[in-house]
Amino acid sequence: MALLERSRWYDLARSTNWTPTYVREDEIFPPDMSDVYGLGMDAWETYDEPYKVSFRDYVRVQREKDTGVYAVREALARSDYYEKADPGWMTVMKAHYGGVTTVEFASASTQARMGRFGKAGGLRNMGAFGSLDEIRHTQTQLVFSHEHLQRGNDPEQFAWSHYGNRTNNWVNLAVRHTFEDIEHTRDVVETAVMTSVFEVMFTNLQFIGLAADAAKQGDHRFSSLIQSIQSDEARHAQIGMEVMRLMVREGRRAEVQRLVDISFWRNWRAFAPLTGIAMDYYMPVERREHSFKEFMEEWVIAQFDRTIGDLGLARPWYWDIFLDELEWFVHGQHLGVWLLPNTVWWNPPCGVTPAERDWLEQKYPGWNATFGRCWDVITKNVLDGKLDKIQLEIFPLICHMSNLAITGIAGDGFRVKDHYLDYEGRRYHFGSEVDRWIFLQEPNRYKDYKNILDRYMDGTIQPPTNGGFLAYMGLNEHSWGRDPHNWQWNDRFRARERRAS
Amino acid sequence: MAADFPVGVAVQGDYETRLVMIEPDATMDDLCAAVAPFVVGRFVPEQPDKTMRIKHQNNAEPFPRDARVKDVLVPWDPVELLFL
Amino acid sequence: MPMAEAKTKALRTWPHLAARRRRPSEYEIVSTNLHWRTQFEEYSELSPSLPINKWYRKYVRESPLRHDDWDGFRDPDEVTYRTYTVAQDGQEAYVDGLLDEHDELGHDASLPDEWVPVLARLYTPGRFMLHAVQMASAYIVIAAPASTVTCTAAFQMGDALRWVARLAYRTAELAEHRPGFGFAQQERRVWEQDPAWQGLRELTERALVAYDWGEAIVALNVVLKPAIDEAFLRQLAAAGRRHGDTLLGLLADAQLRDSDRSRRWTKALVEYARQHPGNDEVLARWAEKWVPLGDRAMETFAAALPESPDAGATAVRDARAFRTSLGFTV
């Protein structure tokens, strides 16, 4: 074929700015939507996206990818893998689908918003491709999760994949608050930068870590789906990287640093309960690849260091706080979810049989003397048949930023702190100094928010009972979680006790 | 009197801070008694040889046992329940 | 803690689709009821005072175009990402074939001298307009209150991206094969200054800032895109065929295939909107505002076509026929 190389026409396809005269430029590109930093058209003309693709190549490559994913699905359609899979693995999938699927769909609008209000032609084109990518991610995961409905095992929990983020479940509130802050409520510049931190660093956790774990579990259907999704990320994740470079060129390094600092932390707090608990507690221990901490170090921190190094940025000011939390944050979050399984749409395994505790101690030295102490009390109550004592009847304070319970270090290392703030006559509670700092970066953005505890206290949740609470969060007896192993895990403690005696 | 004074309590050894609604006139001992059944023996072990004391999160020393909530705390203050 | 029993009752489909007794299509499974931004009182959990929260309140929630259930809208073609990439991969292979074949035939070199400046004046500068269609389609993606509208608008945005790329390709080819006519150099100046374009440029710029989501549908899908179809695609191609430019016509036909898909979902959306009382008047009001701009755009552009005295009137008539099929009377 004697077709032109892409490089011959590519620049023309992105030279699409002109000087409007029938309306004003700031009507087509309102600063609040396009560029709150006022970088100017001359700066935007220097935007050069590193990953270039043509529509022709895009549809061909994406078609091939979809063929691959759907072929694997077809090949495994008759497999009874899911009938025999460990309940812990099924839990991981339910949690993933319920939290992630429609976040992808919302991201289609994030990308399209850059496609509309971005001031650089290349950025707008990449946003258009990115938007299509996110529709792909949404629709593929909907197809795959939909098929779980018909198998008859906890279908309502898989149905959360479709409607979870339309509920006021506390987890979905955390998801929405986080991703609305990062992706949906800022101008193109801040959106591009913050979304890139999410896409370039943190999606690796869920989509590379999860894919590897799925393969190890023998769930090749899910593994191929997830890997295929992640293969799109590199391209559209670059949109914001180039915005960061442009801002640094324009002397706005401090602003980029601030945006990166905010986004990194918000992502950390969102992914730790989602991915961290899955990796450290839900994944069947015989096949665990890595701890959450190890995965963060290899994939997120290493990637982050490379990225900020390239841009001449620094590690966030709170890096020591973050490294400290890597050791303990996920463990308190897991306890909270396990003790209130009927507030989530999956069945959380306890993840603390003797073998699992040994694994946890190895990966997080000192675990037995901290969180292990809580589990000692809980386990003894379970073994003694005192199941009423593992009821959680006294509820945690909820962080006004992350929407997670305010947790800390338990047991011998006891350290639990409410990083509260009094602002304009109202007290806000935060799970970390960093969440508090984020609030103070732009109080008007966050100050009107009512978290789920506020809604309980102010009468929004009616009736103000446990039943009312669960109904407000969209759960019922078909969708809320329970112990997936039917308490059989405590048999392993009895076995160890018998061996010891 | 209604139990309408909110306090965030982190029990020593526990993993999170918890919301307790208490009467404003309640003493620190009353606060301990209100929290303990839901946490002690459930997530932290019983320590019958120790006394439960309340300390503001930011202070070094616990409050006197007969101090009243309304006198030493403001609503939504964070405290720790220590075993001393 | 509830000790629920093992659940074995299967769900046939998502709860919101289960009420109907028939199987859902894959399209319905993957496209319906997906927005959370329309589910709650405010667009987001962040403060209502944020500019974007106010934007959504004004331009979406408070749009005069009303419906009790926008989520009920369906794309008649039921396009999904998967079917879109399959179909467009095939269509792009076809267009690759056209370009390759015409290059081998020396098509550009053999174009008559009087036609080449017409392409430089009335064809290649169109990439700004086509890109604006891409931008305006992206706006519908982000503003639409139904995920089914968002999805069809995203594929329309993809189509626009496709044709900007193809026009850029042709611009580069013409610059190489017919140097000296300003290809790949003059397009922005022509778009901004040549009288032939000013009707379309005005319509394009105004459509870009029609931020009410319903008005955006009328401005883009009922007026601007059909004006482009009739004047820039059909009438320019007709003039091209009279001057030995067969490639232009073939490419226009391929582009009109995508446009026809847009027309089908636009018709379905307008019909759906008309179900709700009051929307007929709202749509009529917008049509009265935008149609004159569209007509003037087509007439101004077509007047510049060589030996095409009826082109403007034909374009206007055919655009109106489309609108009539949507229940408009202007």
For chain A, how many helices (H) and strands (E)? 26, 2
Q: How many Cα atoms within 13 Å fall on the side-chain side of residue B31?
A: 40
Q: Is B30 on the interface with A (CB under 8 A)?
A: no
Over range A76-92, report the average pLDDT: 87
Residue A301 CB: number of other CB atoms within 10 A?
18
**Nearest chain A residue to B6, by CA:** A457
Cα–Cα distance measured from residue A340 to residue C280, given in angstroms and rounded to the nearest whole number: 51
3-state SS of A123-134 is: HHHHHHHHHHHH
3-state SS of A293-339 is: HHHHHHHHHHHHHHHHHHHCCCCCCCHHHHHHHHHHHHHHHHHHHHH
Q: How confident is the model at residue C76 (pLDDT cuts 50, 70, 90)?
A: very high
Q: Is the pLDDT of residue A27 over 70?
A: yes
**C106 Rama sector, left if φ>0, alpha if ψ -120 to 50, beta otherwise:** left
Q: Is the pLDDT of residue B36 over 70?
A: yes
Over range A165-187, report the average pLDDT: 97
Q: Specify the DSSP class assigned to residue B68.
A: B
Cα–Cα distance measured from residue A260 to residue A263, given in angstroms and rounded to the nearest whole number: 5
Residue B25 CB: number of other CB atoms within 10 A?
12
Cα–Cα distance measured from residue B58 to residue A121, given in angstroms and rounded to the nearest whole number: 53
- How would you label C288-312 residue by residue, b for 16+ Cβ within 10 Å and e otherwise? ebbbebbbbbbbbbbebbeebeebb
How far apart are the CA of A397 and the nearest CA of chain C, in angstroms?
A: 19
Q: How confident is the model at residue C2 (pLDDT cuts 50, 70, 90)?
A: very low
Over range A237-248, report the average pLDDT: 94
Q: Is B7 on the interface with A (CB under 8 A)?
A: no
For residue C146, CA distances in Å to A99, A199, B9, C75, C151 come to 20, 26, 45, 11, 9
Residue A265 near residue A316 (C-beta atoms within 8 A): yes
What average pLDDT does chain A have? Answer: 93
Give the containing element (helix H, strand E) for B18.
Answer: strand B18-22
pLDDT digits (tens, 9 = 90+) for C237-264: 999 999 999 999 999 999 999 999 999 9
Over range C140-157, report the average pLDDT: 98
Q: What is the pLDDT of residue A500?
A: 66
Rounded percentage of chain C residues whose pLDDT exceeds 70: 98
pLDDT digits (tens, 9 = 90+) for C110-131: 999 999 999 999 999 999 999 9
Q: Is the pLDDT of residue C4 over 70?
A: no
CATH number of the domain that residue C152 is part of: 1.10.620.20
CATH number of the domain that residue B66 is part of: 3.10.20.270
How far apart are the CA of C113 and the nearest CA of chain A, in angstroms?
A: 23
**Nearest chain A residue to B14, by CA:** A410
pLDDT digits (tens, 9 = 90+) for C191-225: 999 999 999 999 999 999 999 999 999 999 999 99
pLDDT digits (tens, 9 = 90+) for B38-72: 999 999 999 999 999 999 999 999 999 999 999 99
Q: Is the pLDDT of residue A39 over 80?
A: yes
Q: How confident is the model at residue C100 (pLDDT cuts 50, 70, 90)?
A: very high
Strand partners, A405: A398
How far apart are the CA of A388 and the nearest CA of chain B, in angstroms?
A: 9
Q: Is the CB of B43 less than 8 angstroms away from the CB of A410? A: yes
Q: Is the pLDDT of residue C7 over 80?
A: no
Q: How confident is the model at residue A497 (pLDDT cuts 50, 70, 90)?
A: low
What is the interface pTM, i.e. ipTM, of the complex? 0.98
| Residue B53: φ, ψ to 5° | -130, 150
Q: Is the CB of B8 less than 8 angstroms away from the CB of A418? A: yes
Give CA torsion, residues A294, A297, A302, A304, to 10 deg: 130
Going by C-alpha positions, the residue among A268, A172, A220, A244 that lies closest to residue A72 is: A220
Give CA torsion, residues A196, A173, B17, A328, to 10 deg: -30
CATH number attached to the domain at A39-500: 1.10.620.20
pLDDT digits (tens, 9 = 90+) for A93-129: 999 999 999 999 999 999 999 999 999 999 999 999 9
Option in A112, A185, A444 nearest C44 (CB)? A185
Q: What is the pLDDT of residue A152?
A: 77
| Interface of chain A toward chain B, CB-CB under 8 angstroms | 331-332, 335-336, 371, 373-374, 376-378, 381, 389-390, 393-397, 405-412, 414, 416-418, 420, 427, 429, 453, 457
Most confident of A288-292, A462-466, C286-290: C286-290
Give the containing element (helix H, strand E) for A255.
Answer: helix A253-271
Q: What is the pLDDT of residue C96?
A: 98
Beta strand pairing call for A421-423 and B77-83: unpaired
Tell me, yes or no, whether C23 lies in a domain. no
Going by C-alpha positions, the residue among C208, C45, C146, C33 that lies closest to residue A185 is: C45
Q: Which amino acid is at C128?
A: F
Cα–Cα distance measured from residue A379 to residue A368, given in angstroms and rounded to the nearest whole number: 13
Tell me, yes or no, whether C58 lies in a domain. no
Q: How confident is the model at residue C8 (pLDDT cuts 50, 70, 90)?
A: low
Question: Is the pTM above the cut of 0.90?
Answer: yes
pLDDT digits (tens, 9 = 90+) for C225-239: 999 999 999 999 999
Rounded percentage of chain C residues whose pLDDT exceeds 90: 95
3-state secondary structure of A398: strand
Strand order in the sheet with B18-22: B18-22, B5-11, B77-83, B52-56
Q: Which amino acid is at A326?
A: L
Q: Specify the DSSP class assigned to residue A464.
A: S
Query: Which residue range(s) make up the domain with C192?
Result: 70-325
Residue that the structure tokens 């919101």 belong to: C16
Sequence length of chain B is 84
Q: How confident is the model at residue B83 (pLDDT cuts 50, 70, 90)?
A: very high
Strand partners, B80: B10, B55
Q: What is the pLDDT of residue A296?
A: 92
Over range A271-287, report the average pLDDT: 93
Q: Is the pLDDT of residue A203 over 90?
A: no
Number of domains in chain B: 1
Cα–Cα distance measured from residue A328 to residue C115, given in angstroms and rounded to the nearest whole number: 73
Q: Could you tell me which residues come within 8 angstroms of residue A381 by beta carbon, excluding any fewer than 6 positions away?
A: A387, A389, A390, B41, B42
Q: Is the CB of A444 less than 8 angstroms away from the CB of C37? A: no
Q: Could you tell me which residues come within 8 angstroms of residue A147 by beta carbon, excluding any fewer than 6 positions away?
A: none
**Nearest chain A residue to C188, by CA:** A18
Q: How confident is the model at residue A341 (pLDDT cuts 50, 70, 90)?
A: very high
Q: How confident is the model at residue C168 (pLDDT cuts 50, 70, 90)?
A: very high
Going by C-alpha positions, the residue among A107, A85, A441 that lies closest to residue A284 is: A85
Tell me, yes or no, whether C204 lies in a domain. yes
Q: What is the pLDDT of residue C5?
A: 41
Q: What is the pLDDT of residue A9?
A: 97
Mutate to test the interface with A, among B9, B12, B15 (most CBs of A within 10 A): B15
Q: How confident is the model at residue A489 (pLDDT cuts 50, 70, 90)?
A: low
In angstroms, the first-to-last Cα distance of chain A is 79
Cα–Cα distance measured from residue A323 to residue A319, given in angstroms and rounded to the nearest whole number: 6
Residue A312 CB: number of other CB atoms within 10 A?
12
How far apart are the CA of B48 and the nearest CA of chain A, in angstroms?
A: 15
Option in A56, A63, A165 nearest C96 (CB)? A56
Q: What is the pLDDT of residue A205?
A: 80
Using only C-alpha atoms, what is the Rg of chain A?
24
3-state secondary structure of B42: coil
Q: Is the CB of C171 less than 8 angstroms away from the CB of A4? A: no
Q: What is the pLDDT of residue B14?
A: 98
**Nearest chain A residue to C36, by CA:** A166
What average pLDDT does chain C have? Answer: 96
Structure tokens at A111: 């990308």
Query: Which residue range(s) make up the domain with B45?
Result: 5-83
- CA A442 to chain CA centroid, nearest Å: 22
Number of domains in chain C: 1
Q: Is the CB of C131 less than 8 angstroms away from the CB of A387? A: no
